Chain A
C-alpha cells in the first residue's frame, strides 16, 4: 500500500495504522500545566494519527456548511468545557451569557456540580471544584480574574477542576489578588 508513485505524497498524509504515534499538528508546543492530568484512556488516543485540518476536503462537509459553522458574523463563542471524571466534554456558548455568575450557573447545570460559584468568590473557604480556563497564550487561569469582556475574547476552553489539584499546581498562589474580592468582575 505504501510506496512511491502512488501520488499519496500529494495529500501530505502520513499513513498510519492503529497504534501509530500521534502526529503533532500546528498547535503550540507549549507545555501546559495540566497536560499530564487528562483522561487516561490512552488506547483510544493512540489511534489518532493525522490532524484533519491537513487534508483538503476532508471531512466531506459542504463549503456552505463550513462557512456557517465559523461565520464571521456569527456572534457565538462556543467553548469546550471538560470536567475531571466526566468522559465527555460539553460545549457552552459564552455569547449567551452576560457575566460570570450566569456562566457559572450554566456550567453547574451542565455537569450537575453545584458550588462552583462559591469556589470562585472565596478561595480559602470553598472546598469544591474550581472553574479554570485556557487563554489565547495557552495558560490556564482561574475564571473571574479579568473583566468579562476580556475573558470572552481570550478564553479558548474551560475546565472544572478539583480544588485540591488546582492548589497543588500553584494556581491559587498566583492569584492572590482575588482574596478579599467578593465582587465578580461582570462588565
Chain B
C-alpha cells in the first residue's frame, strides 16, 4: 500500500500491544505486518506443548526473549493423569539453547523438568533472568544448584507447587558471593531446611529483593532477622509460624514486620499459633493479598486477622473461616476481587460439621462489589443462593463451585441446581471460567450453551443425563477453549456431531464417560489436525479392543505437529489405529 508507514514506526506501534491475541490479529493483516510482528515478537505463550513443535516456533519467531509453556492437562492436578504421560520440556530447551541465546525468561506449568534441563538452561542463556516452575516435577535440588551457580543475572526463581526431589538445602549456597540481583524467590514447596546463614547472606546482599516465600523448615524465630535485611519486601511467605510463645521472639517479630512499609502480600503461616498472629497486625492495612490456605488457624483468630485488612483484594483461605468469618470479610474487605475457600478436610466423612455453607459466599457476593473470581468448596448449596449471587455480582468472570458430595441437589428443595447455575451464566455475561458441581441435568447445559458466550473454560463432573448436554455446550459456547469432563453420560453422538468445533478449542478431556473406541478412531480420521489420545491403563492389548469398547480417558487437542512421539504404552494415538488416514 502506498501510504504504508516505515517498518520501524510500525514496530514501535506494535510494541504497545501486549496481548498475544492482538499481536496475532496484527500478523494477519498483510505480509509485511506479519514479518514485522514475527521479528519483533519477544514473548510467546504455548498453551499446549504438543500443539506445535519447538522448531516451528523458533522458525516463526526468531527473537524471543520470554517463553511460557504448559504441558499436562489440568486434571493432572487431581491425579487423573497417570505418571509418565508426558509434558517433557527437554526438547524445547535443547531447541532453544541453540536458537535463542538471548532468552531471558522461561515459565513452565505442569511439565516434566529434569536436572539435565536445568543444567542446559544454566549453561545456554547468558542473560537468563526468570525461571518459574509451576506444578512441575522431575528435578532435584541438584538442578537448582546449577541454576544458582551459573545464572549471574537471575532475578526470579519461583518453584510454586512443584514436586522437587529435595536432597538437601545445600543448593542455596551455590549462589556466589558476587551474586546480588535476586528480586523474587519462592521455595515454599521445598521440604528440607536450607542453610539459614546462606539464606540470610543472600537476602542481605540483594537490595532489590521484593518477593520472598520461605518453606516450612524456616522456623518462626528466624524470620525477624531476615525481614530486617529486607525492609523493601512487597511479598512475604513465612515458614512455619509455630512455636511456644516467647515475649522476646514476639516483640522481635512484631518489630520486624512494622518495618515492612511496602508489604502487600502475605502467605505461609503453616501450623500458625494464634498467639503470634498479632505480630503481623502492623502490615495489615496495606495488605492486598492474603493466602492462609495452608494454616490450621481457626476462628476467632482467623476472622480477626482477615478483618484487619481493609484493602484486601485477594483472599485464599480454608473453610475454617466459616460463614461468620466471610460475613466479616464482606463488611471489612470492600475491595475484594478474588476469594478462594478450600476444604480443610476434603475427605471428611461427616457432613455439616464445618460452619461454612452457601451463606458465606452469598454474604461476600453482597458486600464485595468488586468480586470477580470465586473458588468455593462447600457441602451444601441452593438454587436460591446461586441466583442471589448471580444477581448481586454480574461482574463475575470466574466462578468455580465445588459441592463436595457428587450430585448433591439443592438442599432446601432437593431439586437439581440447573436453575442456579443458569442464573450465573445468564447474569454474568463476562464469565470466562466455570466449574459445575451438584445435581445437574441436561438443562444446565442448555442454559450454558444459550448464555455463556464468553466462556473459555468449563469443568464438569458427575453431571448431565445424555449426549444432549455435551452437544449443547459444544454447539453453543462460541468462545470455548478448554473443556474437561469426568463421570458424565456423554458419548459418541455429541462428539462426532461437533468434531469441527474441537479444532477451534485448545483441548478436550473426557474421563469415565461413554465414548467408544470406534468413535475415537472415526473422529481422528475426520479431523487430521486433532490428536486423539486414549488413555487406557488396563493390561489388554490394543488390537483386541472392539469398536464398542468404552474408553477410560480421552484427551483431544488440536495440533499442527502431528501425533506426539513420546507417549507411554498406556496412551494410544488414534492416528495409529486409523491407517487409512490421509496425512
CB of B550 within 8 A of CB of A88, answer no
CB of A88 within 8 A of CB of B354, answer yes
> Does B22 count as interface, using CB distance less than 8 angstroms?
no
Q: Which residue of B lies closest to A15 (CB)?
A: B407
CB of A61 within 8 A of CB of B79, answer no
| One of B177-185, B307-315, B342-350, B518-526 contacting the partner | B342-350
Question: What A residues does B271 contact at CB under 8 A?
Answer: 74-76, 95
> Does A169 count as interface, using CB distance less than 8 angstroms?
no
CB of A7 within 8 A of CB of B513, answer yes
CB of A65 within 8 A of CB of B489, answer no
Q: A13-B406, A88-B354 are in contact. Are A52 and B346 (CB under 8 A)?
A: yes
> Does B293 count as interface, using CB distance less than 8 angstroms?
yes
Give chain A interface residues in 61-104, CB to chain B under 8 Å. Answer: 61-66, 68-69, 71, 73-76, 78, 80, 82, 87-91, 93, 95-96
CB of A63 within 8 A of CB of B345, answer no
Question: Roughly how many angstroms separate A63 CA and B201 CA in the complex, as a whole number?
Answer: 33
- Least distance between A37 CB and chain B CB atoms (Å): 14
Question: What B residues does A6 contact at CB under 8 A?
Answer: 489, 513-514, 550
> Does B100 count as interface, using CB distance less than 8 angstroms?
no
> Does A170 count as interface, using CB distance less than 8 angstroms?
no
CB of B346 within 8 A of CB of A61, answer yes
Instruction: Determine which of A27, A52, A78, A80 lies in contact with B404 in the assembled complex, contact meaning CB atoms within 8 Å.
Output: A52
Q: A25-B349, A53-B347 are in contact. Are A60 and B355 (CB under 8 A)?
A: no
- Least distance between B420 CB and chain A CB atoms (Å): 16
Q: Which residue of A lies closest to B464 (CB)?
A: A1
CB of B344 within 8 A of CB of A69, answer yes
Q: A44-B352, A74-B271 are in contact. Are A64 and B163 (CB under 8 A)?
A: yes
Question: What B residues does A187 contact at CB under 8 A?
Answer: none
Question: Roughly how many angstroms separate A10 CA and B342 CA in the complex, as a whole number?
Answer: 27
Interface centre among B80, B354, B406 (most CB of A within 10 A): B406
Q: Which residue of A lies closest to B75 (CB)?
A: A57
Q: Which residue of B lies closest to A56 (CB)?
A: B79
> Does A161 count as interface, using CB distance less than 8 angstroms?
no
- Least distance between A109 CB and chain B CB atoms (Å): 10
> Does B486 count as interface, using CB distance less than 8 angstroms?
yes
Question: What B residues does A95 contact at CB under 8 A?
Answer: 271
CB of A58 within 8 A of CB of B461, answer yes
> Does A18 count as interface, using CB distance less than 8 angstroms?
yes
Question: What A residues does B487 contact at CB under 8 A?
Answer: 8, 11, 13
> Does B353 count as interface, using CB distance less than 8 angstroms?
yes
Question: Roughly how many angstroms separate A180 CA and B395 CA in the complex, as a whole number?
Answer: 66
Complex interface bits, A149-170 against B, C-beta within 8 A gives 1, otherwise 0: 0000000000000000000000
CB of A11 within 8 A of CB of B411, answer no
CB of B411 within 8 A of CB of A47, answer yes
Question: Roughly how many angstroms separate A27 CA and B350 CA in the complex, as a whole number?
Answer: 12
Question: Roughly how many angstroms separate A41 CA and B489 CA in the complex, as a whole number?
Answer: 33
Q: Please classify the interface of chain B as helix (H, G, I), strand (E, B), loop, or mixed, using the class held by over half of its residues.
A: loop
Question: What A residues does B404 contact at CB under 8 A?
Answer: 52, 59
Complex interface bits, A1-42 against B, C-beta within 8 A gives 1, otherwise 0: 100011110110101111000000101000000000000010
- Least distance between B239 CB and chain A CB atoms (Å): 12
Question: What B residues does A10 contact at CB under 8 A?
Answer: 512, 552
> Does A184 count as interface, using CB distance less than 8 angstroms?
no
CB of B293 within 8 A of CB of A59, answer no
> Does B85 count as interface, using CB distance less than 8 angstroms?
no
CB of A1 within 8 A of CB of B465, answer yes
- Least distance between A85 CB and chain B CB atoms (Å): 14
CB of A89 within 8 A of CB of B350, answer yes
Instruction: Determine which of B135, B343, B351, B514 lies in contact with A61 in the assembled complex, contact meaning CB atoms within 8 Å.
Output: B343
CB of A51 within 8 A of CB of B349, answer yes
> Does B483 count as interface, using CB distance less than 8 angstroms?
no
Question: What B residues does A78 contact at CB under 8 A?
Answer: 296
Question: What B residues does A90 contact at CB under 8 A?
Answer: 298
Give chain B interface residues in 302-357, CB to chain A under 8 Å. Answer: 320, 342-355
Question: Roughly how many angstroms separate A8 CA and B79 CA in the complex, as a whole number?
Answer: 18
Instruction: Determine which of B353, B377, B405 lies in contact with A88 in the assembled complex, contact meaning CB atoms within 8 Å.
Output: B353
> Does A113 count as interface, using CB distance less than 8 angstroms?
no
Q: A58-B78, A58-B461 are in contact. Are A48 and B343 (CB under 8 A)?
A: no
Question: What B residues does A18 contact at CB under 8 A?
Answer: 409, 414, 439
Interface centre among B216, B271, B402, B461 (most CB of A within 10 A): B271
Ordered by A's residue number, 13 sampled pairs between the chains whose C-beta atoms are within 8 Å are A18-B414, A45-B351, A47-B411, A48-B351, A52-B347, A52-B348, A52-B404, A52-B405, A57-B80, A61-B342, A75-B242, A78-B296, A88-B353
Residues of A within 8 A of B (CB): 1, 5-8, 10-11, 13, 15-18, 25, 27, 41, 44-45, 47-53, 55-66, 68-69, 71, 73-76, 78, 80, 82, 87-91, 93, 95-96
Beyond A50-B406, A52-B347, A59-B402, 9 extra complex contacts between A and B, CB < 8 Å = A5-B514, A7-B551, A13-B406, A48-B351, A50-B405, A57-B80, A60-B459, A61-B78, A62-B161
